[in-house]
Amino acid sequence: MLYVVPTPVGNLEDMTLRAIRILREVDVILAEDTRVSKRLLDHYEITTSLRPYHAFNEHRFVEPLIQELQGGRQMAMISDAGTPGISDAGFLLIRACHQAGVSVTCLPGPTAIIPALVHSGLPCDRFHFEGFLPHKKGRQTRIKWLAEYPFTFALFESPHRLVRLLKELAEFCGPERQATVCREISKMHEESRPGALHELIAYYDAQAKVRGEIVVVVAGMESTK
């Protein structure tokens, strides 16, 4: 059995009781960064063995891990924060488990996407999650597509590229398009700032330094009519 276990995106108290139990019971935990994960495990007095599993080694480790799982080992997979497989490693191993007949259980739990969508106050009965945009090739094509998307959409962005993204969105969506920047979700300095794109650009352009994990939620074209 492979357990996909979400971990807190900020506050350690967001860990579920079931997730704690699973991490204690499995034979090994596959972690994106063992140093980050050890702090979480130490907090909950979990002593299960950690093994690195991330985007840079997943291709060569998938087959050996499948063999171990078929041999009867119980494993849990976690990322640094949130649910593995969403803009993190995990998809390849989960797919390989399905193909090899290995059982997979994905626990519900923390994610930055849903709190950001709900907190934005924008319609979220339908939405599109874009994740990270490509840095260069295909970037403008994707933004043009998003600008015409009828429903709310959400993107991940790094702090040092936030203003650039907001300006690109304003160029294609229009400066009055409503959006919300959600930063440091579930952490001490959590911030959710709604406004028109031109207002958000002015605010973050004036900041000396923007920190933290960021989700940008943007109103769809239908919401602007």
pLDDT by position in tens, the chain (length 225)? 999 999 999 899 999 999 999 999 999 999 999 999 999 999 999 999 999 999 888 899 999 999 999 999 999 999 999 999 887 888 999 999 999 999 999 999 889 999 999 999 999 999 999 999 998 899 999 999 999 999 999 999 999 999 999 999 999 999 999 999 999 999 888 999 999 999 999 999 999 888 888 999 999 998 766
| Number of folded domains that form the chain | 2
* pLDDT for the residue 128: 96
Q: Are residues 117 and 175 in the same domain?
A: yes
* Predicted local distance difference test score (pLDDT) of residue 224: 67
Domain identity same for 91 and 131? no
- Residue ending a domain, choose from 106, 141, 175: 106
Residue 68: the pLDDT is 96
Shared domain for 48 and 101, answered yes or no, is yes
**Domain shared by 78 and 132, yes or no:** no
Same domain flag for 97 and 132: no
Among residues 106, 136, 152, the one where a domain terminates is 106
Distance CA 197, CA 212 (A): 20
Residues 151 and 64 in one domain: no
- Domain that includes residue 15, residue range: 2-106
Listed residues 106, 129, 156: the one ending a domain: 106
Whole-model pTM: value is 0.87
How would you write 151-195 as a 3-class SS string? Answer: CEEEEEECHHHHHHHHHHHHHHHCCCCEEEEEECCCCCCCEEEEE
119 shares a domain with 102: no
Based on the fold, state whether residues 34 and 94 are members of the same structural domain.
yes
- What CATH code is carried by the domain that includes residue 76? 3.40.1010.10
**In this predicted structure, what is the pLDDT of residue 189?**
87
pLDDT of residue 188: 86
Count CB atoms within 10 A of the CB of residue 41.
20
**217 and 121 within one domain:** yes
User: 56 and 8, same structural domain?
Assistant: yes
- Predicted local distance difference test score (pLDDT) of residue 225: 62
